[in-house]
Amino acid sequence: MNVSYETGMKFIAENHAGQKIPVEPGPALGGSGRTPNPIDYLLASLGSCAGIKVLLDLEHRGARPDSLNVTIAGTRRETPPLVFEKLHLTFVLTGPVDHAIVEEAIHDTMTLNCPVAVMLGKAVELTWEHRIE
């Protein structure tokens, strides 16, 4: 990953395949408010990695939900460094999937298969739950 300053407070991150990701701080730190900030990308990485790995695990087990949504809530320290102290993921699935299979797939994802979740789990209290609707 290469990160280059562009203009104002905007940076462009470019991966090995040449795909570009705009990054800015929030408006309080001089960003435009039109581009995700680094914390947004961190949470997006966690949620998308977990979602991808859960879907792959479920498919491997012969189950495929009609939909999957991952919501992340967290609490951060009130004084610097403003790091997350807790992150909680809620997985909401629809379709013909078995509760026990989903529970096992999510546990394996969060503790073994999603590198983003495993790394963050070493730094923050990471919890999760799921609902099948």
pTM above 0.75, yes or no: yes
Architecture of domain 38-132: 2-Layer Sandwich (3.30)
**How high is the pLDDT of residue 38?**
96
Distance separating alpha carbons of residues 107 and 133, to the nearest angstrom: 19
Q: How many CA atoms lie within 13 A of 108 on its CB side?
A: 15
Tell me what pLDDT residue 4 has: 98
Tokens representing residue 133 in the block: 């609707």
Positions of the chain with pLDDT under 70: none
